[in-house]
Structure 1
């Protein structure tokens, strides 16, 4: 396992903040919009955006949300506002929107596909809300995906939480996210919270869904980058390696550009 002994939190923080500020200035936008879930990725992303000095809008978008998620999100926003006068917040309760949507779409006899599709719908309703708020404030939607989610196992919703303008923490593993968040004194309740996407209305964690912890997946991602194969491992390592490879393969459609059917010139 990687020990991260050379992790330079202050320098990485400054690098990301400067990158965000320069990108916004070049794009001629006013600031950033970040969806706040009560998890560590959105807490870190919003803290990085706030440090630019540009207007940063933290958006809560509950859809039948667990009370623990809501309370963590609100505490984080309160803490951020106390530190930065450029931070504001909006709450958009999307529960009635979600319920109306469910009433308007066809049912299916497959409960698993229905639950999965509705979970993705939650993420897509939130994306639409973030872009509305960004639009009326001439701002950018800042993504909250980390490296393992975005480029390893594709653990996000296509055109949901994957629908963003910029990705400030997508080159940081979950472990690195935790190290940087701790450096920036994100409050302890968020630092120790079990990672969850909160899309199913229950207490299932990311690890429950993925079959492996982020630390294990980080290890597998590094081993794949070294050119290793499942034959190089046994026991739990082999199991984790195969989980990573399977998820990385089936979720390539999220990570690759949309396929375009190229028409031969002689047919035009």
Structure 2
């Protein structure tokens, strides 16, 4: 395995907080709005935003959500509100909205495409909700994607959780997000939970969907970035590289600017 970069977590924390505050002040907005999922990425992002001292609105947006996700999210919000007076929260239950949407569109016999499309619809409904609150209160929508998701395998919904105003942790690997989360004293229930996008209404994890863990994907991303060639990769490492390369190629449409036909 390649050596991971070493970060000074305290300095990284301060750097991101200063970056957030400067960007918000230059944008003439009141603060940030963040969707809280019960996962480490949204927990770390909301804590970073809270440290700016600007208004932070944490939004719960359940859609047939697994109980464990809701519990973890509320534990984090409660902790954050006790620590930071500038943090408020609201719940927008989108279950009925999602169900009404399903009634208005035709189904398909291709169950894989149906389930994936509906999962992405959940994410897009949440994006729309966050921008509603952003407009009402004069806030920026803070993204919660990390480097592996946003620039490695494209594991996010286009115009869903990928629809944001700024991305505070998108240059951090997943392991670095965990390290920052530990430094910020994010609840252990979140730090020890298996990562999941929560878009299917069950307990399937990100690893279940991708076929590789974040540690493995970080390794593959580093191998690709460093153009490392080796004849000593194990069978599993070769499989992970194959998964990474396939997802990175197939999801380029999420990572590059929208193509424009110019004259």
| Inter-partner Cα distance in structure 1 for 2:68 and 2:79 | 17
Aligned residue number for residue 47 of structure 2: 47
| Inter-partner Cα distance in structure 2 for 1:156 and 1:71 | 23
Q: State the 1:203 CA deviation.
A: 1.1
Question: Structure 1-normalised TM-score?
Answer: 0.96
Matches within 5 A, 1:53-202: 53-202=53-202
Question: Structure 2-normalised TM-score?
Answer: 0.98
Aligned residue number for residue 266 of structure 1: none
- Which moved further from structure 2: 103-112 or 148-157? 103-112
Instruction: State whether residues 33 and 56 of structure 2, in contact with CA within 8 Å, keep that contact through their aligned partners in structure 1.
Output: yes
Q: State the 1:202 CA deviation.
A: 1.3
Q: State the 1:7 CA deviation.
A: 2.2
| Inter-partner Cα distance in structure 2 for 1:141 and 1:9 | 24
| Inter-partner Cα distance in structure 2 for 1:81 and 1:113 | 40
Q: State the 1:107 CA deviation.
A: 1.3
| Inter-partner Cα distance in structure 1 for 2:6 and 2:105 | 51
| Inter-partner Cα distance in structure 2 for 1:36 and 1:3 | 32
Is the counterpart of residue 35 in structure 1 residue 12 in structure 2? no
Compute the RMSD of aligned alpha carbons. 1.3
Q: State the 1:205 CA deviation.
A: 0.3
Output one character per residue of 1:155-179: Cα deviation in whole Å (capped at 9) or x when no partner.
Answer: 0000000000000000000000000
| Inter-partner Cα distance in structure 2 for 1:72 and 1:209 | 21
| Inter-partner Cα distance in structure 2 for 1:10 and 1:4 | 18
Instruction: State whether residues 230 and 238 of structure 1, in contact with CA within 8 Å, keep that contact through their aligned partners in structure 2.
Output: no
| Inter-partner Cα distance in structure 1 for 2:150 and 2:247 | 12
| Inter-partner Cα distance in structure 2 for 1:8 and 1:252 | 31
| Inter-partner Cα distance in structure 2 for 1:17 and 1:86 | 14
Q: State the 1:232 CA deviation.
A: 6.3
Q: State the 1:3 CA deviation.
A: 5.6
| Inter-partner Cα distance in structure 2 for 1:215 and 1:99 | 36
Q: Aligned pair count? A: 263
Q: State the 1:106 CA deviation.
A: 1.1
| Inter-partner Cα distance in structure 2 for 1:223 and 1:28 | 41
| Inter-partner Cα distance in structure 1 for 2:229 and 2:250 | 17
Instruction: State whether residues 2 and 223 of structure 2, in contact with CA within 8 Å, keep that contact through their aligned partners in structure 1.
Output: no
Q: State the 1:254 CA deviation.
A: 0.3
